[in-house]
Structure 1
Amino acid sequence: MLTELSIKNFAIIDNVHISFSKGFNVLTGETGAGKSILINAIEMVLGGRAAKEYVRRGKEKAIIEAIFQIENPNKINKILEEYGIKSEPDNTLLLTREIFSTGRSTSRINGRTVTLTMLNNLTKYLVDIHGQHEHQSLLTWENHINFIDLLGGNKVFKLKKNIKYYYNELKKYRNKLNSLTENEMERERQIDLLKFQIEEIDNAQLEENEEDELMNEYNILSNAEEIMKTIGDITEKLNSTDFYEKSLIDELNNILTNLQKISEHDSKLENYSNIVESIIFQLQDLSRELRLYIDTIEYDPERLELVNERIDLINKLKRKYGNSIKDILKYRDKIYKELQILENSKEEIQKINKEIKKNEDKLSKLCNELTKERRIIGNNIEKNITEELKKLNMKDIKFKVKYDKYDYFTENGLDKIEFYISPNPGEPLKPLSKIASGGEMSRIMLAFKSILAEVDEIPCLIFDEIDTGISGKTAQIVGRKISKLSKTRQIICITHLPQIASISESHFYIDKIVSNGRTMTKIQKLDYDGRIKEISRLLGGYNLTTSTKKYAEEMIKNLKNI
C-alpha cells in the first residue's frame, strides 16, 4: 500500500507530505484547491508522462516521492532482481520522480535511476488509478473486449499471446506473397537487372587480394624508368668500372687493407677490420641483389595500360556494388540468392501458400478457443455486473454482452464485443456508449472495478471523483461499496459527497491558500472535529448550523462501521 507521499514544487503545491493509512482514505476540498493535482503527482511518480508545466513557477524542478509497504513482495522483488535493484528487508519501496523546468525528468526506484518503461513495469502492480479518462474507455466499444480479457486470467493471456504470434507469422507470409505476385512486370525487370549485375561481376573474374597486387604492379610499371636509372646509379657507385674512378667497395677494400696492417700493432683494431670486412660483404650482396632486381624491371607500356584498365574496372564495380572486392563478391552471392527466389517464384509461392494455410488453420483454432472463453467470461460478467449494479441502486438495469466477429484475423482474435444496457424497465437494450448518463457510467465503472479487484491483486485503488453524477441514497450505496473494497485493499478517493467522505477511515482536507502573493495547496489530516466541520460543509456550505453539524455527526456514527 501507499504509506507516504511527498510533493515539492509541483504545480500549485509548494511542499506537502501525506501519511496514508490502510483501508479507506478520502480527500475533500473546494473546487480548484488542488485535489486533481494531487492525483497528477501520484501519476507522475508512478511513471506518467511529465511536462515542464508541472514545475512550480520560479523553481528548477518538482520532486515527488512515494513510499510503499509491499505486503506480498514476491512479484515486486522478482522485478527488482531483474533490474539489479536491491530490495529492502522491511519490504518498503521508495519511488522518486524529478521533473525539471526544461521538461526533462528522472525516475528512481530505491535510489537507483531507471527508465520510465522500467518504472511502469513495476508500478502497474502497485496502484490502479480510476479517473474520468476511464469513463471514456467504457464509452469506446473497442475497449470493451479488454474488460472481458482482464477477467480471463492466465488461460486467456496465453491464448492471446499465441494468437499474436501466429497472426504476425501470417502477416509476414502474406507480405512475402504480395511482393512475389503483385507486379509480374516488376518481377521480370528485377530478374533482368540481377542477371546483368551477376554477369558483370562474373565477367570481371575478381580475386579478393588482386587489387593490392595490381596497385603494386602499376606503381612499378609507371615508375620503371626512374627505378632502373636510380638502381643503375647505385650499382655504379658500389662497383664502378671506370679505371679512373674508384667504387665505394674499392675504397672500403683500401680501408680494410690499412686497418689490417696496423692491427699488427694493436690487436684491438682487428674488431674494426672485421666490421669493415662485413660491410664490404653486405655491399657486395646488395650489389648482386640490385642487379638481379633490375633484370626483372622492364618498361612495358602495353602491360601498364592493361593494369590501368583492370584497376579502372575494379573501381567501377566498387562504385556500383561495394567498397572492396570482398564486398562486391558478397553482394554477388546475395543477389544470386534473390535471383533464384525470383526465378523459382512458382515453387516459392506454393511454399508460402502452404505456410499461410498452416497459420490460418492454427489461428482459426486458437481464435475459436478464445471466443469460447470470452463467451464464458461474458456470461459471468452479465450476471455479476447486473448484481453489482443492483447493489448500487440500479435495480432495473439490464446488462448484456453482445458478440460479433470480424471477417478477418486480428492480433486480438476474431471477436467484436460491445456492452449493451437497458437502465429502465421497458426500454430496449442499447449500446452503453450511447445511453449511459454520468452517474450510471460511474456506477458501471465501479461495478467493473469491484469485479476486477477480485483477480488483479493490485493493493491500492485510487478513485478520482467516482461519484460524478450521483447523490442522495445512491451516493450512500456507492460509499458502502467503496468501503467494502477497502476491507481487502487500500482505497484513496477524491469526493465531493458527504455520504462517501463520512465512511472513510482517514480524511484529508485539501485547501488553497495565498502566501506572499503566491497560491499554494495545503493538505491536512482531519481529526474528529475537523471531519464534522468538513462533512457539514459538504452538506450545506460554510454556514454551519446546529442541525447540519448534528447530521454530520450522525453520518459518521452510523456509517463508519459499515
Structure 2
Amino acid sequence: MLTELSIRDFAIIDEVSITFNEGLTVLTGETGAGKSIIIDAVQLLAGGRGSIDYVRHGAKKAEIEGLFTIDNKNHPIYHVGSQYGIEIPGEQLVLQRTITANGKSICRVNSKLVTLAILKEFGKKLIDIHSQHETQSLMDPENHIELLDMYDPEPISKAKEEYTDLFNKLSSLKARYKKFSENEQEMAHRLDLLQFQMKELEQANLVPNEDDDLEEERTSLANYEKIHHALQDAYNALYGEQKGLEWLNQAQLALQDSSSYDPFIAQKAEEVSSNYFVLEELTYDLRNHIESLQYSPDRLNEIESRLNEINRLKKKYGATVNDILEYMAKIEEEIEEITNKDSHLSHLAQQINETAKDVYLEAKQLHDIRRKASESLMKAIHEELKELYLEKASFSISFDHKQNEQAIHDDDYMSIDLHKNGFDRIRFLISTNTGEPLKPLNKVASGGELSRIMLVLKNIFAKHQGVTSVIFDEVDTGVSGRVAQAMAEKIFQISSDSQVLCITHLPQVAAMADTHKFIEKREGKNRTATIVSELPMEDQVEELSRMITGTELTDTAKEHGRELLDLASIFKKNKDKNNKKSRY
C-alpha cells in the first residue's frame, strides 16, 4: 500500500507530506482546494504524462515521492524489480518523480534512475486510478481477456503456459518460413555473403580459446626478463650455502635432537621436516622452469601478427574466438538451408502444420476453460449490480475470434487467427435498461451508471489484480440517495482487499472512511498553499455536516453527520462479523 506521499512545489502545493493507512481513506474539501491535484501527483508517480504546468510558479522543479509497503512476497512487483535489476529490501519500494521548469522528467525507483516507461511498469502494479472522465484498464476491451483469466487463475495457468510455449514455437517456425520465402535475388545475395564469410573464416583456421592462449603467451614473452629475474632471485634465496633451505635444515636437525624429550618438540620437528621437503621440491621446480625459459623475438612477432588477424575477425564476427566459431557454425547451417531451399521450405511447412494443430488444440482448451469461468463471473457481476440498484441491468461476456486471411485452406487450426492468449477475443457488454441492447462498457452513456458498473468490476477484480492501492477520483458524481449509500458500502468492500483512496463529495462515502483527510487552501506571504490534515471524530462530524448542508452548520446537520457515522460503524461491524463467519 501507499504509506507516505511527499509533494513539493507541485501546482498550488508548496510542500506537503501525507501518511496513509490501510483500508479506506477519503479526501474531502471545498472545490479547488487541491484534492484532485494530490491524485494528479500520484498519477505522475505511477508514470503518467508530465508537464511544466505542474511546476509551482517561481520554483525550479516539482518533486513527488511515494513510499509503498508490499507485505505479500508473491506480489508481481517483485518480478518487475527482478526484471529491471532493482532490489526491494524490507518490503519497501520508493518511487520518485521530478519535473523541472524546463520540462525535463527524472524518474527513480529505490534511488535508481529509470526511464519513464520502467516507472510506469512499477506504477501499474501498485496503483489503479479511476476517475469519472478517464477510461481505465477495465474499460479497455484489450484487457478483458486478461481480467477473465485472473478471475479463475488456477485452472487456466497451466493450460496458458503450455499454449504459450507452443505458440512461441509456431511463431518462430513461421518467421523462418517467411525468411526463406523471400525473393530469389535477395536469397542469392545472402548466399554470396555467407559463402564469402565462410571462406574467410575457414582460411583463418581458428582454434577454440586460441585468443586467450596467445594473449597469455604474448604476456610471458613480453615480460621475459622480469619473469626470469623473479624466478632466479627466488631460487637463489632458497638454494645454496647460508640460504633458506640450509637454515631450515638446521632448524630441523636442532628439533630432532631433542624430540625424544618433549612431545611438543617432536610435533614441531615433524612439521618443520615436512615443510623442508616441500620447499626443496619447490626449489627444483623453480630451477627446471628457469632452464625451460626461452626468449624468441620471432615467436613474439608471430603472435602479434596472429592476434592482429584474430582482432580483425572479431570486429566482424564476434567478441571472442569461440563466438566466431559459433557464428561460423550458424552460417554453415544457413548456407546448407539456402542451397537446399525447396526441401527446407517443405520441411518447415510440415512442421508449421503439425505445430499449428497442437496450438489450436491448446487454444480450444483455453477457450473451454474461459467459457466456464465467464458463466461464474457473469453471475457474480449480476449479484453485485443488484446491490447497487441496477437490478434491471444485463451483463454479458462476448466471445469472438478473427479469421486468418492468410490461411491456405479451411481447417479450423489454420483458418482461425491465433494470438498470445489463444484465439478468443473477449469483450464485456452491458445493458442498463430493459429492452436495450447489450453494448461495450465504454458505450454506456450515464455517468452514474458507469460509476456503479466500474465499482462492481473493481470490487470483483481488486483481489485478483494485485494492485496495492485503488484510487477513486469523484467516481460518485451523478448519484444520490440510496444509490450513494450503496456505492459507499461497495467502496468500503473494495478496501478490504486493497488500500482505497477516495476523493468524494458524498457524505455517505465520507462516513465510511477508516481515515478522513481534509484538504484546504490557505493564504500566507502573498501565496496560496494546499494543506492536508487528518480529522478527529468531532471534526469529522462537522465536515459531514458541511457536506450535507453546504456552508451553514446547523444542529440538525450535525445530528445527521453523527447518524451517518453511527450507521457506517454498524455496517462495518456487521461486515466484519460476516467475514469472520465465512472463514469457518
TM-score bin, normalised by smaller chain: 0.5 to 0.7
Match of 1:449 in 2: 458
* Equivalent-residue separation in structure 1 for 2:197 and 2:470 (angstroms): 66
- Tell me, yes or no, if structure 1 residue 386 matches structure 2 residue 382: yes
Over residues 420-452 of structure 1, what are the superposed CA-to-partner deviations in whole Å (9 max), with x where a residue is unaligned?
222223334344333452222211111111111
- Identity among equivalent pairs (%): 37
- Deviation at 1:195? 10
Match of 2:534 in 1: 525
* Equivalent-residue separation in structure 2 for 1:207 and 1:549 (angstroms): 93
SS in 2 for 1:553: helix
Q: Is the 8 A contact 1:502 1:556 kept in 2?
A: yes
* Equivalent-residue separation in structure 2 for 1:69 and 1:397 (angstroms): 38
* Equivalent-residue separation in structure 2 for 1:78 and 1:139 (angstroms): 27
- Deviation at 1:160? 3.9
Q: How does 1:68-467 map to 2 (within 5 A)?
A: 68-73=68-73, 75=75, 82=82, 83=85, 85=87, 87-88=89-90, 93-102=93-102, 103-109=104-110, 126-132=126-132, 135-184=135-184, 187=187, 190=189, 338-407=334-403, 408-467=417-476
- Tell me, yes or no, if structure 1 residue 491 matches structure 2 residue 500: yes
* Equivalent-residue separation in structure 2 for 1:335 and 1:489 (angstroms): 54
Moved more, 409-418 or 111-120: 111-120
SS in 1 for 2:402: strand
Cα 1:477–1:334 shift into 2, 3 Å: closer
* Equivalent-residue separation in structure 2 for 1:195 and 1:523 (angstroms): 69
* Equivalent-residue separation in structure 1 for 2:141 and 2:88 (angstroms): 43
* Equivalent-residue separation in structure 2 for 1:487 and 1:338 (angstroms): 59
* Equivalent-residue separation in structure 1 for 2:396 and 2:195 (angstroms): 66
Match of 2:569 in 1: 560
Q: Is the 8 A contact 2:81 2:88 kept in 1?
A: yes
Match of 2:480 in 1: 471
Over residues 319-348 of structure 1, what are the superposed CA-to-partner deviations in whole Å (9 max), with x where a residue is unaligned?
xx99xxx9x999999877655433311111
- Deviation at 1:163? 3.7
Match of 2:580 in 1: none
Match of 1:504 in 2: 513
Q: Is the 8 A contact 2:393 2:430 kept in 1?
A: yes
SS in 2 for 1:421: strand
Residue identity opposite 1:87 in structure 2: P
Q: Is the 8 A contact 2:167 2:420 kept in 1?
A: yes
Over residues 521-549 of structure 1, what are the superposed CA-to-partner deviations in whole Å (9 max), with x where a residue is unaligned?
22122233432332233223224444333
* Equivalent-residue separation in structure 1 for 2:327 and 2:21 (angstroms): 68
Give ranges in structure 2 of 5+ residues lacking alignment.
Answer: 207-312, 404-416, 572-584
Match of 1:310 in 2: none
* Equivalent-residue separation in structure 2 for 1:345 and 1:533 (angstroms): 82
How many residue pairs were aligned? 446
SS in 2 for 1:17: strand
Over residues 90-110 of structure 1, what are the superposed CA-to-partner deviations in whole Å (9 max), with x where a residue is unaligned?
x5555444444341314142x
Cα 1:418–1:92 shift into 2, 3 Å: closer
Give ranges in structure 1 of 5+ residues lacking alignment.
Answer: 210-317
* Equivalent-residue separation in structure 2 for 1:361 and 1:194 (angstroms): 37
- Deviation at 1:158? 4.7
SS in 2 for 1:409: coil
* Equivalent-residue separation in structure 2 for 1:499 and 1:195 (angstroms): 74
Q: Is the 8 A contact 2:130 2:136 kept in 1?
A: no
Q: Is the 8 A contact 1:98 1:106 kept in 2?
A: yes
Over residues 8-61 of structure 1, what are the superposed CA-to-partner deviations in whole Å (9 max), with x where a residue is unaligned?
112221111222233221001233322222112223344545444433232233
RMSD: 4.1
Q: Is the 8 A contact 2:363 2:422 kept in 1?
A: yes
- Deviation at 1:351? 1.6
Match of 1:25 in 2: 25
- Deviation at 1:68? 3.9
TM-score of the superposed pair, with normalisation by structure 2: 0.66
Q: Is the 8 A contact 2:80 2:121 kept in 1?
A: no
Cα 1:553–1:336 shift into 2, 3 Å: closer
* Equivalent-residue separation in structure 2 for 1:28 and 1:195 (angstroms): 70
SS in 1 for 2:488: helix
Cα 1:73–1:149 shift into 2, 3 Å: closer
Match of 2:2 in 1: 2
Cα 1:520–1:353 shift into 2, 3 Å: same
Q: Is the 8 A contact 1:52 1:104 kept in 2?
A: no
Cα 1:196–1:418 shift into 2, 3 Å: closer
Cα 1:158–1:466 shift into 2, 3 Å: farther
- Deviation at 1:463? 1.8
